[in-house]
Amino acid sequence: MMNKYVSGLYLTLIMIGLLFLAACGTADDATADSNAEGQAEENAEKPVLRVGTEATFAPFEFLEKGEIVGFDADLLDAVLTEAGYEYEYENVGWDPMMASLQNKDMDFGAAAITINDDRKQTYDFSVPYFKSTHMIVFNEGAGFTSAKDLEGIKIGVQNGTTGESAAEKVVGEKNSNILKYDSTAVAFLALKNGDVDAVVTDNVVADEYVEKNPDANVEAITDDETFSAEYYGFMFPKGSELVAEVDAALTTVIENGTYAKIYKEWFGAEPNTDVLLEAAE
Ligand code: ARG
């Protein structure tokens, strides 16, 4: 009698236990499911964006301990945080970045990319975020004083950049004295090795190189009569629906002082944001 009673009690307890576990299991599963759905819904609205660059262009984008840092990296982060996007910032190289954007394999490029009519035929741009011009970098003592001095010397440029067009404007488009490199860093190396006599690149990058490489013994000059002002923007595949959202976020970041904070961190000066807002119109 007693045994039967005890075993009956055990059975009941076991069954209650099993029911309890089953209930927990169901509850857990339900929570997990709804989380997964919520995540999926969120991701469907906001994909993780793929942003490309060529990261040997200090102080805009360069590698530090394997990470892409620089003015563009910080601005990009501020803008996409403002727009509510997660993103991957990838150092794919200049030409591959251009190709990926043309094929719509990447969402946009953040690489100190100059907005110009030529590129506008193939790509779309954000509003401008930085004003730039060109400079000529050369070995100390070469005595260059203006863009005219580029005539007859070997000129290094980054292939497919506006530095290349700036040099071509001076010495002619098919001039074999223009040597084209995959990156500006390699063009600077060519100058160091004596393969070229000068490098034409964006002014802030030229200044940064001169300042950060005292051992290279180089100097840089501008020529406002020859080189004109240009503006950087984020570059998108043609027809990208992201442009409007990124523009709104970028404008907010410029207007709310975040842009000025980042600018000061990198350039130690107050930016002229009026110039950017005017250029945007
Ligand atoms: N502003 C120039 C251009 O758009 C040079 C940009 C180079 N950028 C870079 N990340 N390497 O052609």
The pLDDT of residue 278 is 87
What is the atom index within ligand 1 of the atom nearest the CA of 55? 10
Tell whether ligand 1 has an atom less than 6 A from the beta carbon of residue 94. Answer: yes
Tell whether ligand 1 has an atom less than 6 A from the beta carbon of residue 126. Answer: no
Mutation pick for ligand 1 pocket among 51, 53, 57 (CB with most ligand atoms within 8 Å): 57
pLDDT less than 70: residues of the chain: 1-44
Mutation pick for ligand 1 pocket among 53, 114, 120, 123 (CB with most ligand atoms within 8 Å): 114
The pLDDT of residue 44 is 59
Tell whether ligand 1 has an atom less than 6 A from the beta carbon of residue 111. Answer: yes
SS (H, E, C) 214-281: HHHCEEEEECCCCCCCEEECCEEECCCCHHHHHHHHHHHHHHCCHHHHHHHHHHCCCCCHHHHHHHHC
Per DSSP (E only), the strands in 60-174 are 61-64, 67-69, 87-91, 108-109, 123-125, 130-132, 134-139, 155-158
Domain 134-222 is found in CATH 3.40.190.10: yes
The pLDDT of residue 3 is 53
The pLDDT of residue 13 is 47
The pLDDT of residue 41 is 52
Q: Do domains 49-131+230-272 and 134-222 have the same CATH topology?
A: yes
The pLDDT of residue 71 is 98
DSSP secondary structure string for all residues of 9-61: HHHHHHHHHHHHHHHHHHHHHHHHHHHHHHHHHHHHHSPPEEEEE--EETTTE
Mutation pick for ligand 1 pocket among 92, 158, 235 (CB with most ligand atoms within 8 Å): 158
The pLDDT of residue 24 is 46
What order do you get walking across the sheet with 198-202 strand by strand?
Answer: 178-181, 155-158, 198-202, 134-139, 218-222
Reduce the DSSP state of residue 153 to 3 states and report it: coil
The pLDDT of residue 25 is 44
What is the atom index within ligand 1 of the atom nearest the CA of 184? 11
Q: Tell me the domain boundaries of the chain.
A: 49-131+230-272, 134-222
Phi (first) and psi of residue 45, to 5 degrees? -70, -45
Phi (first) and psi of residue 46, to 5 degrees? -125, 90
Burial of 22 (0-12, 13-18, 19+ CB in 10 A): exposed
CA atoms within 13 A on the CB side of 147: 21
Domain 49-131+230-272 is found in CATH 3.40.190.10: yes
Tell whether ligand 1 has an atom less than 6 A from the beta carbon of residue 231. Answer: no
The pLDDT of residue 277 is 87
d(Cα 51, Cα 236) in Å, to the nearest integer?
Answer: 10
